[in-house]
Amino acid sequence: MKAAQDLRGLLAAGRLVQAPGAPDPLTARLVERAGFPAVYMTGFGATATRLGQPDLGLMTQTEMTGLARDMVRATALPVIADADTGYGGIANLVRTIEEYCQSGVAAIHIEDQTLPKRCGQLSGVSLVAADEQARRLRAALRARGDHPMLVIGRTDALGVHGLDEALDRARRYLDAGVDLVFVDGVKTIAQAEGIARGLDAPKVLSVVDGNETAALTAARIEELGFDLVFYALSTLFSAARAIADTLDALRRDGSTIGRAGDMMSYEEFAEVVDLARYQRLEKEFG
């Protein structure tokens, strides 16, 4: 519960909360070490690192909530988790809320795609009716009860029906009682500005590398009026490139010596995973 209360406090302070994406607990630790106030558990990244496959709704509820628990254990930061569509009907959605509350995450977002869902940046997205999604969100909020975990209503309507429909759905989800709204699939600065103008409410922006929005600074995003920003794929794409470059060098040169300056040392990595804590325990009790 403390993580959710911490996140609520950050949002209440009126400053933009930056939450870089983490596909795994190790990356979550690195986000914390870098000094960010929160971390985003990305479903895209989870699917890539666990399955080596694209974000097409392949991860199950138990896989996602298991990852959430691992990430909460790994970092003191508030974890904001992707809960996809809730993984089924109303009963499945209620269980999803209960599992995420028990996991210790600070917030989740629930989207309005039909099953099977897919990454909001892709074409071919299909949506449930707005009224149906509003009912589902009300059920999620009832399942949450008095637990402080925040529920974010996400809509993927921008790429399917355009900005007006996305704004209309976001307002409906606010009326249903969600804590923040999240219009996903933003690719241009003009779209981000349109969302900012159209929603006078707590809101989320997701910045995806390779899109025009990557040029937006945190200061500009805050100026637009967003409360929370995800950088969902930045760490994943950076890590994938670094790994690929190291493997290319090893294959080409037969050694990684030329990449040494781009790697953490053993000692640095041991600090990230908190090896010293376990060494102290072994020394005292082993």
| pLDDT reading at 196 higher than 70 | yes
How large is the average pLDDT for residues 131-139? 98
For residue 245, what are its two tokens?
């470059």
pLDDT of residue 1: 78
The structural domains of the chain, ordered by start, are 2-240 (3.20.20.60), 256-286 (no CATH)
The pLDDT confidence band at residue 286, using thresholds 50, 70 and 90, is confident
CB 183 within 8 A of CB 195: yes
Class of residue 248 by CB neighbours under 10 A (exposed 0-12, middle 13-18, buried 19+): exposed
| pLDDT reading at 123 higher than 90 | no
How large is the average pLDDT for residues 74-79? 98
SS3 content of the chain, % helix, strand, coil (to 5): 55, 15, 35
| pLDDT reading at 173 higher than 80 | yes
pLDDT of residue 15: 97
pLDDT of residue 149: 98
Q: What is the pLDDT of residues 2-41, one digit of tens each?
A: 999 999 999 999 999 999 999 999 999 999 999 999 999 9
| pLDDT reading at 118 higher than 80 | no
Percent of the chain with pLDDT over 90: 94
CB atoms within 10 A of CB 76: 12
| pLDDT reading at 64 higher than 70 | yes
The pLDDT confidence band at residue 115, using thresholds 50, 70 and 90, is confident
3-state secondary structure of 217: coil
How large is the average pLDDT for residues 87-113? 97
Closest to 104 in 3D by CA, of 136, 49, 140, 67: 67
Least confident stretch, 40-44, 53-57, 148-152, 266-270: 53-57
How large is the average pLDDT for residues 176-182? 98
How far apart are alpha carbons 286 and 279 in whole angstroms?
Answer: 9
For residue 51, what are its two tokens?
């399955």
Tell me if residue 119 is catalytic. Answer: yes
- Distance from the first to the final alpha carbon of the chain: 33
How large is the average pLDDT for residues 200-222? 97
The one catalytic residue among 17, 38, 46, 119: 119
pLDDT of residue 116: 74
For residue 161, what are its two tokens?
């029906």
| pLDDT reading at 55 higher than 70 | yes
Q: What is the pLDDT of residues 219-247, one digit of tens each?
A: 999 999 999 999 999 999 999 999 999 99
